[in-house]
Structure 1
C-alpha cells in the first residue's frame, strides 16, 4: 500500500488500483488529493478536515465515489450533494465496513477537548487494513488491535507535546508519520518531531517526517 502525505491531516492511500483519501480539508490540496479517489473517510466536521464544497462537487462529478463520515457531516453533505446521497454513509464508533477494497474499523467517538466553552463534536478514528490508523482530532488508542502505521497529530489547539509523545508510546506502532501540522513553522516542527522521534524509538516506534507530496510504502 502506498501512503501520500498532503497538507495538514489529508492523506491518500493507494492499493490494487484503488484510492482512499482521509480528511480533504481547507488546508489541503483538496482537488489534487481527490483526483481519481474511490472513497473518502472524514474524521469530523471541522473545516481543516472537510472542505465541504469541493468534496460535494467531487461526489457529484464522480458517480462511483463513496464517502464515510460521522452522522452530522454525512447529513450536511447529503444536503449539499443530494444526488449523491446514497453514496454518503454515516459511521459510528465500533463499526466496520469495506470501502474501495479497504477494510475499515472505527474507533473513538468524540473530538479532543479544546476548551470547556467550545462544544465537543463527533470524531471517528479509522484503522485501514489492520495497518494505517488515522485518529482525526483525538488521541484514542485503538483497543484490541495492533497498529502497524500510525498517523500522529503533532500540533493542534487541543494538544501539547507530552500528549503527542504519550499517544505514540500508547499505540506502539512500528512506524509513525506526521499529520495535523499546517500551523507549525520549521522550528516548532523540529522541536515536536525531535521529542516524538526520541521517545518513540524507546518503545519500538520509528518516526519519520513526511513533507507534503511525499509517498512511502506501508
Structure 2
C-alpha cells in the first residue's frame, strides 16, 4: 500500500480486516503460484503484508521473510498474532520501498498480494522499477490484480493485466505465470488476476 493514501480505511478497520484475512489459508490463496516459491529456503519480501498470514506461512516453510506494512494498526496486530513466526516487520510503503532499499536486501521472491490496486499510474511505474531492482538473479515476483467494485473509503484502481505485463517488460521482467481466480471471500463482482514475473 502506498503511504498515507493507501492506508486510508485500513487502520480504522484493522480488527475486522485481520479476522477476514485470517479466515483464508496461505495455501488456498496462493495455490496456483506455490510452484513459484523458492525451492530451498530463500529470502522473501511480502509487501502490504496485512494480517501477516502469508509472511508467517512463508517463514514457517523456512524462508527468511521481511514483511512490509504501512498501516500501523494492521502491522502491530500482525506482529502480535504471528509472534511465533520469525518475520522481520518494516514500516515502509510502495512505490519507493525506501527502508527496504536502505537495508541493502535482495530477494528470491517478492510477494505483492492485493496491493498493486492501491497505486496510480505514476506510482505503478515507480513501484515496478523499485521491485525489479530488489530481485536476485532468477528471483521472482508474484503479483495479484483486483478487478471489481471499490469499497467505501478505499483508494483503488482497476489495473489491466496488459499494462502490468508491459510495465514489467520495460523493467526487465517477463511473465512466467498468468492466471485468474474468483474472490475466495465470495465478494460479488470481484475477481483476481495473478502474475508471476522473473528477470529475462
After TM superposition, the score normalised by the length of structure 2 is: 0.41
Give the number of the structure whose alpha-carbon radius of gyration is greater: 1
Q: Which has the higher contact order (CA 8 A, sep 6+)?
A: 2
Larger helix fraction of residues: 2
Q: TM-score, normalised by structure 1?
A: 0.38
